[in-house]
Chain A
Amino acid sequence: MPKGTGWRISLICVFVALSFLYLTPTLVGTLPSWWGTFLPKDKIHLGLDLQGGTHLVMEVETQKAVEGSLDLVATDLEDTLSSKNLHYKHIARDGEDKVSVVLYEKGTAETVQKLIKDKYPSYEQSPIFDEGGYAAFTLRVSEKDAQERKDKAVQQALETIRNRIDQFGVSEPTIQREGINNIVVQLPGIKDPQRAIDLIGRTARLDFKMVREDISPTGTIPDDAEVLKEKSVDPVTGAVTEIPIVVQKKSMITGDLLTDAQVRIDSQFNQPYVAIEFNSLGAKLFDQVTAANVGKRFAIVLDNNIYSAPVIRERISGGSAQISGNFTEKTAADLAIVLRAGALPAPVKIIQNVTVGPSLGQDSINKGLYAGLIGVLLVVVFMAIYYKLSGLIADLGMVLNIVYLMGALAALGATLTLPGIAAIVLLVGMSVDSNVIIFERIREELKLGKSPKSALDAGYDKAFLTIMDSHITTLITAAVLFQFGTGPVKGFAVSLSLGVIINLFTSLVGTKVTFDLFLHKGKVKKMSI
């Protein structure tokens, strides 16, 4: 054997063995149980474009979370001042980052300012100013606190969405944060994407509010009340009617006091409803509220839509209640899921939704493989005809390339997309390029009358730089595409960059060593090229 061949051959064989080792989990359906303990079990993942599924990007409207917490501060201040017998005219959120407080006297205002300073030290208070004869000031949330609140909102939204998806039941979902305000959700192989999207995107803020029967929905609405709509769907015609109802703005109980929500079927009307359980605080509040308001109506409000507005017939202790409405079993089940998983801290907006059906995915896999096979065959045949035996060696190099590339993709747990398959097919063409450059050079050297062995060495030496050049420039673009690309493009970049690096190895080491084996000792008089 010629010098330096041994280690090169062993390297090639080790890589082949490793590639097949890493490919085993992808190729074999079920692995024996001992496999995972000390052997790689990562697979080549299929991208959503091949597998079918849904890719969502959602933006959390974080400003709403800040506004929501300012609303809470305002309500809390109202309660605190009332309990301390401090009279106020008006306390409410004002714009994006302030709560405005208006009081009757300057003296009270000063007391209130002191009180706020103790209770909400991080808020900035404006000096007291005169507003139409009243003493007023504002509380401003600091930039840093607002930012923290926003950040926390995205974090909470992520958790909530993860909870909902877990309960909905999707295998191998990906849920992650992207950038500052975005959440990316991938649901591979999902059958009913629209239902999942509705489930994930719903804010699911549950409120129990008292109905104000004394105010007409068409008349003037006082500051502390609002008009919400109760939707009802006619089960026969499917027509939607909306009934406006005036309710108290302030909620008596909110959904964060729930511990459980389950779908039940009403035995009398065979109609599904959602049974909810409150925690101890919720149960106490519910008990108090129902005791104080027997005979009155309260509204069960979800995301500002009234689900039902029943009359309180008697005091309800024990902390359970039910939400009925025009439910199907599916909508009731979804409502139960969102109530169990909790509300989103702020509304989310879907800004990207890519859904691929399973049939198209399978079709893409088949066509991609078919195209790949034809591409490989064309190139193999061409090389064998054009360069004879040497062409076959180049073909061998190409096959090595594909095996290594698949092995590397499996080892990295990379995702294969349709453009990724395209990159592999393209690499089939590019991988023999290096050999073409080398072979043409060898042919020229042979024409000059050199022996096969020295023509071979000269061919490889002189072609080396040319091959490096073309590989490095391709690698530059592949790296950039990897950095900036998303989804399918990233898959393309991964396949391309791995392929280019591997190709460099096979063309400079793999095929060369095969030639060396054939040509050593100078026995070969004529080269088949």
Chain B
Amino acid sequence: MELLGKTRIDFIGKRKISFIISAIISIVGIIGVIQVGRGAANMGIDFSGGTAMQLKFSKPISIADARAALHKNGIAKADLQEIKDGNKLLVKMAGATVGKSSEMVQAAFKKEFADNAFTVESSTEIGPSIGNKLRKDTLIAAVISMLGIIMYIAWRFDFKFGVGATCATIHDCLAMFAVFYLMNKEINLLFITAVLTIAGYSLTDTVVVFDRIRENLHKNLKGSMNTIFNDSINEVLSRTIVTSLTVVLAASSLFFFGGEVIHDFSLALLIGVLVGTYSSVFVASPIVVLLENRALAKKAKTV
């Protein structure tokens, strides 16, 4: 079976549109990263410190009632979120003190909803010092892995391809931040893990495309850069799509069936894989074309 026959799509010619799209994505992503850096985004308590609890009630409970109950018992600032299946409630309190807040929430609900018993499915309390340390460690981890990947790219590819691959990788990471920022999803340690995983993975598609382009560049020096690049991308298009498709299949089964704990994590992976496929065709390759053409023009001038 073949998904796509021989295609003749002008990918490079569409670079104006794709660059605009990618620029918007990247700018939103950068805003997201800056907000995360300022702590203004929806930060997970593992970074901000605080308390998060997941409670399972025996009867349905409305968020408004729950909030009123907490207010009445002196807990003014809490994020509440409902999990649809099984009367579950997520309570998040940023910056709350370790040891007290979880007990206070339990006491409040016990008092106000005496006829609606609940169990604590999970509770996480993180002090500010741990949050700070984690933020620092995560930043170091992100910087080291990005450096590692860039160094590997630099070693494997020549400069122009290296720039393309690096831009595509960074673009993919920014896209994940952009989507999570726009959807106001929580930025936590698992999200960062997903971003770093995608940073490592997104290169797969890029490499598949680049290898073919290099092969064709060696074979055929007559055609214009745009034609060689377009032909190469078209030749490996089905491969690019199928490799992503298998990972998408796996990631979406996690997303749909993996449960609430890794729901956002699988969403991040899914976005990353999809954007990674897009970027290897529409970001990485056009950047290399631009650089190659510029180099050619310079050469023509000097000769």
Contact = CB atoms under 8 A, between A and B. Distances in A.
A356 B122 contact: yes
A148 B130 CA distance: 24
B203 A469 contact: yes
Interface stretch (A165-173, A275-283, A285-293, A364-372): A364-372
Contacts of A194: 103
Interface residues of A, number: 70
Given A375-B250, A430-B201, A59 B262 contact: no
Contacts of A472: 152
Interface string B117-134: 001111111110110001
A351 B250 contact: no
Interface string A419-437: 1001001101110110011
B197 A375 contact: no
Nearest to B144: A480
B152 A476 contact: yes
B167 to A, nearest CB: 15
Contacts of A432: 246
B254 interface: yes
B238 interface: yes
A375 B145 contact: no
Nearest to A469: B207
Interface residues of B, number: 68
Nearest to B197: A477
A72 interface: no
A354 interface: yes
B300 interface: no
Counting chain B CB atoms within 10 Å of each CB, which of A359, A375, A388, A496 scores highest? Answer: A375
B9 interface: no
B257 A374 contact: yes
B200 interface: yes
A429 B239 contact: no
Nearest to A493: B193
Contact of A473 (B56, B102, B152): B152
19 contacts: A349-B98, A349-B127, A353-B98, A355-B122, A368-B258, A371-B257, A379-B250, A419-B262, A425-B251, A429-B251, A430-B201, A440-B239, A474-B200, A475-B200, A476-B200, A477-B145, A480-B145, A484-B138, A485-B193
Closest 9 A/B residue pairs (Cβ): A429-B250, A367-B259, A351-B127, A470-B204, A429-B247, A477-B200, A375-B253, A484-B141, A474-B200
Interface of B: 1, 3, 54, 56, 98-99, 102-103, 119-127, 129-130, 134, 137-138, 140-141, 144-145, 148-149, 152-153, 156, 189-190, 193, 196-197, 199-201, 203-204, 207-208, 211, 235-236, 238-239, 242-243, 245-251, 253-254, 256-259, 261-262, 265-266, 269
